[in-house]
Amino acid sequence: MDPLGHYMLAWLIGRRMKLKRPAYRALTLASLLPDIDAVTLIFGMDFLLKYHATLSHSLVLWLLLALTVSPLLRSWRIPLALLLGAYLHILVDILLNTGIIFRGGVWCLWPFSEAECLLAYHINVPTIAFRAVYISLEILLYSAAIYFIWKREYPWEIWIGGCR
Ligand SMILES: [Zn+2]
């Protein structure tokens, strides 16, 4: 899924959960962070194709990160929101990726396994069905963005101002 889709999904969930701004920011930011490995494009397309959706999509690493920052922040809300955002991203990738450009699966169990987690590998459904669900979800999320902007409830507002 593209960054706007990931962001909108997390933003809608955070809105529904009525999260306070710091946790809301952590949730939406973390929903984007697993794809930070796209910066490896500076080493070339082959490098990106080989390593995208590997370490940064590990459920284990995100859990360790949340457990590490929790005592530092003396709070469980932000680390939990970080974990939820990253897991949401990874879950969507596992459920809907089909490998149009990048590999389909993600290394969700790394470092225990480099097996590619991807629903499409485990159920006998035509790839076109996954793509139809994926495109429908994207259209829904883009429509939600337009709807809330039209209502003057801007999805980027949580990043403006203080942490109230
Ligand atoms: Zn991803």
**58-101: per-residue pLDDT in tens?**
999 999 999 999 888 888 999 999 999 999 999 999 988 876 66
pLDDT in tens, 103-121: 678 889 999 998 888 888 8
- Residue 30 CA to ligand 1 center (angstroms) comes to 11
- Residue range 11-37: average pLDDT? 96
Specify the 3-state DSSP secondary structure of 111.
coil
Q: Ligand 1 center to residue 9 CA distance, Å?
A: 13
Tell me, what's the pLDDT at 100? 63
Categorize the per-residue pLDDT at 33 as very low, low, confident or very high, splitting at 50, 70 and 90.
very high
Distance in Å, CA 127 to ligand 1 centroid: 18
**For the CA atoms of 56, 110, 132, 37, what is the dihedral angle to 10 degrees?**
20
How much distance in Å is there from the Cα of 153 to the middle of ligand 1?
A: 27
- Cβ-in-10-Å burial (0-12, 13-18, 19+) of 71 comes to exposed
Give the per-residue pLDDT at 126: 86
